[in-house]
Amino acid sequence: MADVETFAFQAEINQLLSLIINTFYSNKEIFLRELISNSSDALDKIRFESLTDKSKLDGQPEFFIRLIPDKANNTLTIIDSGIGMTKADLVNNLGTIARSGTKEFMEALQAGADVSMIGQFGVGFYSAYLVSEKVIVTTKHNDDEQYVWESQAGGSFTEYASFYKSLTNDWEDHLAVKHFSVEGQLEFKAVLFVPKRAPFDLFDNKKKANNIKLYVRRVFIMDNCDELIPEFLSFVKGVVDSDDLPLNISRESKKAVENSPFLERLKKKGYEVLYMVDAIDEYAIGQLKEYDGKKLVSATKEGLKLDDETEEEKQKKEEKKKSFEELCKTIKDIVTGEYGWSANMERIMKAQALRDSSMGSYMSSKKTMEINPDNGIMDELRKRADADKNDKSVKDLVLLLFDTALLNSGFSLEDPNTFATRIHRMLKLGLSIDEDDLAGGDESEMPPLEDDAAEESKMEEVD
């Protein structure tokens, strides 16, 4: 039988203490009730022990709780003549969160003892930190010396201050900091700072501020993710790091990648392909460019050359290329340029990181034409185009195939309504419904076919 080991739960005490303070109590004034309750329990303990040992009250026979406010020093002192605490009690009761000395005292009594005390959960004392940064406890037990216990909520803020200055280049310390993590469907950690001074360009809407930096798995994504924080909090600065941030895009599944049209030729020739289905993969590989002396080439971009074609295959390819020259002026499949964004990368940049429209128009680039001459649809379309290039159905099919290729390649359609209209036209054609048939609906509401100028602006001719 394997050895069994037992480990205790570990906790970040400062974070746990902050959580207890801010979660258990709905308002700050509750601290006074909790501290008076503790004093009351201390009086009950010494009263109960004095029933069997009168000498317990020799030092202070009077039972009292006194509150002494000091407005000048901004302090509140609570004094009671209760049982007091030994050094061990201080360590166990005040130094251990959620450990109740009152509850242990009750459990130690014989069954049926007539005594009622308040404290049960061992967290009431920490409510003092709702209104105070520092708490001092001076106590004396009959069986021990007097001790002074002193503590502050939280720990050192030196690391936060230095991190804030390195993050923002501010010469002053921050006014406030919030360090938290969120778990659930979306998990992330964040450190947010409020500066001491408002930025001089706070109301300048045209300036692009670099306030919230976004990381995914500690990989830097962008300087300013303004969608993470509302505009009226634009002065807040900080860092957000997530292990599974989806970046507002749909992740390609492995199955979808396996069925991609870009892999048809590679599969046919028996090449192995490295699948990258996470949103961040392409961004990381784009910075790597090559590995072990081998260039990393995307199957969805230009530059993918296979040099294992036979002379017969090359000759056949040239013949088909010549026969499809006319059709290539009208229709194309989609492959991005070698130095542009792929469909997956374009969705990432549109969703989060892109805020420069000129950069977007440059990097998204025009789409390059590629067709499969062995496809039956292409062959039939070539015949119709050769017979009459102005055929209405040919124009619709050309644009429909173009939009379908966009979707199949992972790009988004700029005008889904027009695409849906072409689908409806093809359905009518397949069902032999006349275009002018009123039963099909009011055709005046449907977008007309784009003119030649519009088509040429949308699709680029191929050499």
Q: Binding site residues for ATP, as ranges? A: 34, 38, 80, 85, 93, 100-101, 120-125, 251
- Write the single-letter amino acid at 188: F
C-alpha–C-alpha distance, residues 253 and 431, integer Å: 35
**Backbone angles phi and psi of 462, in degrees to 5:** -115, 140
Q: What is the DSSP code string of 98-115?
A: T--HHHHHHHHSPTT---
Cα gap 252→35, rounded to integer Å: 57
Neighbours of 333 (CB within 10 A): 21
Q: What is the largest CA-CA distance in the chain?
A: 118
Please name the residue that has the structure tokens 């010396």: 145
CA-to-CA distance for 462 and 325, rounded, in angstroms? 9
Asked if residues 216 and 283 have their Cβ atoms less than 8 Å apart, the reply is: no
Q: How far apart are CA 88 and CA 145, in angstroms?
A: 11
Do 188 and 201 form a contact (C-beta atoms < 8 A)?
A: no
Residue 463, classed as helix, strand or coil, is coil
- 239's CB contacts (< 8 A; 6+ apart) are 167, 190, 191, 212, 213, 215
Q: State how far the Cα of 122 lies from the Cα of 38, in Å rounded to an integer.
A: 10
State the burial class of residue 287 (Cβ atoms within 10 Å of its Cβ: 0-12, 13-18, 19+): exposed
Q: How far is the C-alpha of 211 from the C-alpha of 168, rounded, in Å?
A: 8
Which positions make up the binding site? Answer: 34, 38, 80, 85, 93, 100-101, 120-125, 251
Through-space distance between the first and last CA atoms of the chain, rounded to whole angstroms = 73
Residue whose pair of structure tokens reads 């049926």 in the numeric block? 112
Q: Residue count of the chain, please give it.
A: 463
Burial (CB count within 10 angstroms: exposed 0-12, middle 13-18, buried 19+), residue 451:
exposed
CA dist 452 → 72, 105, 329, 458 (Å): 84, 91, 12, 10
Residue 7 one-letter amino acid: F
